[in-house]
């Protein structure tokens, strides 16, 4: 399975944009890029996913490099509630058939007031 590499931790200030990087240099052409986050004492929460094109939703934006070897999760205005561990995960498909999520250690995002 293709691996992802994320920084262990990052810090941001409230109301500023946050760019969370993820490297996946061995990604294959059929791998989807997913992002989940886990707030303290909660289960993980789906954030966004994409294949080749950049994606936007109400929570975040996903910027995917042209060669797909890296991606960046963008939180446009960080709030204290965005403090969490963010996981970048590759899967073989988008969810139409059987798949499972393989989590790494993720990036611990701290948001300063």
Pick the piece of the chain touching other proteins (CB under 8 A) from 10-18, 23-31, 45-53, 69-77.
Answer: 45-53
The span from the CA of 7 to the CA of 96, in Å, is: 30
Task: For residue 53, state whether it binds other proteins (rule: CB under 8 A).
Answer: no
The span from the CA of 55 to the CA of 2, in Å, is: 21
Selected from 52, 65, 69, 104, the binder of other proteins by CB under 8 A is 104
CB of 97 to other proteins, least distance (A): 8
CA 1-106-70 angle, to 5 degrees, is 60
Task: For residue 106, state whether it binds other proteins (rule: CB under 8 A).
Answer: yes
Task: For residue 102, state whether it binds other proteins (rule: CB under 8 A).
Answer: yes
Q: What number of other Cβ atoms are within 10 A of residue 24's Cβ?
A: 22
Task: For residue 15, state whether it binds other proteins (rule: CB under 8 A).
Answer: no
The span from the CA of 6 to the CA of 104, in Å, is: 9
- State the pairing for strand pair 84-91/70-75: unpaired
CB of 16 to other proteins, least distance (A): 26
CB of 22 to other proteins, least distance (A): 13
Helix (H, G, I), strand (E, B) or coil at 80: helix
Q: Which residues bind other proteins (CB under 8 A)?
A: 34, 36, 41-47, 49, 85, 87, 94-96, 98, 100-106
């Amino acid at each position: 399975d293709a691996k992802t590499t994320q920084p262990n931790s990052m810090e941001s200030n409230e109301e500023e944009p946050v760019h969370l990087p993820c490297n996946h240099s061995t990604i294959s052409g059929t791998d989807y890029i997913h992002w989940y986050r886990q707030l303290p004492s909660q289960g993980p929460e789906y954030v966004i996913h994409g294949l080749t094109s950049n994606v936007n939703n109400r929570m975040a934006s996903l910027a995917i490099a042209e060669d797909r070897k890296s991606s960046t999760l963008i939180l446009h205005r960080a709030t204290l509630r965005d403090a969490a561990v963010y996981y970048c995960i590759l899967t073989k498909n988008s969810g139409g058939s059987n798949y499972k999520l393989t989590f790494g250690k993720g990036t611990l995002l701290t948001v300063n007031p």
